[in-house]
Structure 1
Amino acid sequence: MTKLFFVRAVLPLVAGGALLAGCTSTQPGTASPAQSSSASAAPTESSSAGGSGTQSITDPCSLLEMSDLSSYGQFNQPESKTLGGARTCKYQKKIASASDATMVIGVNVRDDASVDQVRDTGGGVADKDINGRRAKEAPDGAAVGCTLGLAVGASSRVDVAVLLDSSSNEACQVAEAVAKSVEPKLPKG
């Protein structure tokens, strides 16, 4: 009964928080009006870094195939929406009985948050390298989750967020494995 309560009542609430982990509510700098386009306009920060950032990613669900998750079990169809300024795609593992392990995986596209802005949610932030791409890993200190942010250009990133009912360490292992499937689909730069 206790595990069933956790799966049905507590986990969806924690999943929403974990999928938003790493969100930033403020941007440093001074607000100014947008500049008009012209042929002599200076390149943006992301284009000068050699990449287009995350703007070219139109569907966050296109970054992860259901087959990439098959080793973790059966998943419901992905759900795409916008949460906290991020375009997200959520994959929820199908639960057949109360003894099944719970897993939620999110792919979150953040157009205006760099990998250096991955937040410490209680477990620290560690530098990572995923297929040669700079990344930051943040295990959750309160929930049983982990966020792994992948750099895309200089000022945007894609997060892989995993929530399990076991441990943050295991969630980070899953996040890293999933990130290795997501990374080749990201813009280079």
Structure 2
Amino acid sequence: MTKIRLAAAILAAAALTACSTTEPGSPSAASPQSSTGGSSSSARPDLSSAPSDQLSSCEILTQIAAEQDLRDIKERTGGAASTDGCNAKNSKKMTLGLNIFPTLNLADYQPGPTSQISDTTVGTRKAKLVKEAASQLDCVIAIEISPTSRADVFAYSINSLDEACSTAEALAKAVEPSLPKG
């Protein structure tokens, strides 16, 4: 049963990173990497329109790790190239995360077929509470950064939707002060 729940958590996290929007244009290969470098770096979103002091999603989660009981903070790989994403766990074995979308706004959020969406605020920012975003036991708080960007905070619980949503709301409140001012 635990393996099934773990698989569901991984699928939910993957689905949350893929359910935002379709990027216009046609795909093309990335420019080749230099073969002289000894290390590789993952693609980062273009944050040129964001303040220069903007923190990455993993830096934000690391800053609030102690107060929010976050562990195993790891950069998310895969998903949209324009996404800065980071996942974490807590002592209740919940899967949590923060995804920053510098080119997608609140209206661009693509809910799942059974999602329940309501308008809310986090601090002074407009936000959307999305229950059952990708599964019956997950919750997303999509927070407006600017008219053209947003951050999605998510939580997946193996116990209940209420636990996922209360955890996502607490995490969103903790994350909000570190988000760029739009």
Please state which band the TM-score falls in when normalised by the shorter chain. 0.7 to 0.9
Q: CA deviation at 1:75?
A: 2.0
**Normalising by structure 1, what TM-score?**
0.70
One-letter amino acid of the counterpart of residue 11, structure 2: L
Tell me which of 81, 86, 99 is aligned to 2:76. Answer: 81
Cα distance in structure 2, aligned partners of 1:185 and 1:150: 12
Identity over aligned pairs, percent: 25
Tell me which structure has the larger Cα radius of gyration. 1
Cα drift, residue 14 of structure 1? 2.7
SS in 1 for 2:104: coil
Cα offset for 1:66? 1.1
Alignment root-mean-square deviation, CA: 2.5
- Quickly say closer, same or farther: Cα 1:134–1:149, change in 2 above 3 A: same
Q: Matches of 2:54 and 2:76 in 1, distance apart?
A: 14
Q: Which deviations, in whole Å up to 9, do the C-alpha atoms of 1:105-139 show, x marking residues without a partner?
A: 11001011101222222222111111111111111
SS in 2 for 1:146: strand
The answer to whether structure 1 residue 125 and structure 2 residue 117 are counterparts is yes
SS at match of 1:184: helix
Q: CA deviation at 1:170?
A: 2.2
8 Å Cα contact 2:106-2:150 kept in structure 1: yes
- Aligned partner letter, 2:101: R
Other-structure match for 2:172? 179
CA–CA separation in structure 2 for the residues paired with 1:17 and 1:54: 29
- Report the number of matched residues: 154
**CA distance 1:104–1:119, change in 2 (3 Å):** same
Give the aligned residue type for 1:79.
K
The residue aligned with 1:166 is 159
Give the aligned partner of residue 104 of structure 1.
95
Which sections of structure 1, spanning at least 5 residues, go unmatched? 32-51, 95-100
Give the equivalent residue in structure 1 for 2:148: 155
Q: TM-score by structure 2 length?
A: 0.73
Q: Is the 8 A contact 1:146 1:168 kept in 2?
A: yes
| Structure-2 separation of matches of 1:133 and 1:159 | 13
Higher relative contact order (CA 8 A, sep 6+): 1
Seen in structure 2, the aligned counterparts of structure 1 residues 5 and 158 have a Cα distance that, compared at 3 Å, is: same
1:90 maps to 2:87: yes
| Residue segments in structure 2 that go unaligned for 5+ positions in a row | 27-48
Post-superposition CA distance 1:11-43 (Å, at most 9, x none): 32233223x26411145xx99xxxxxxxxxxxx
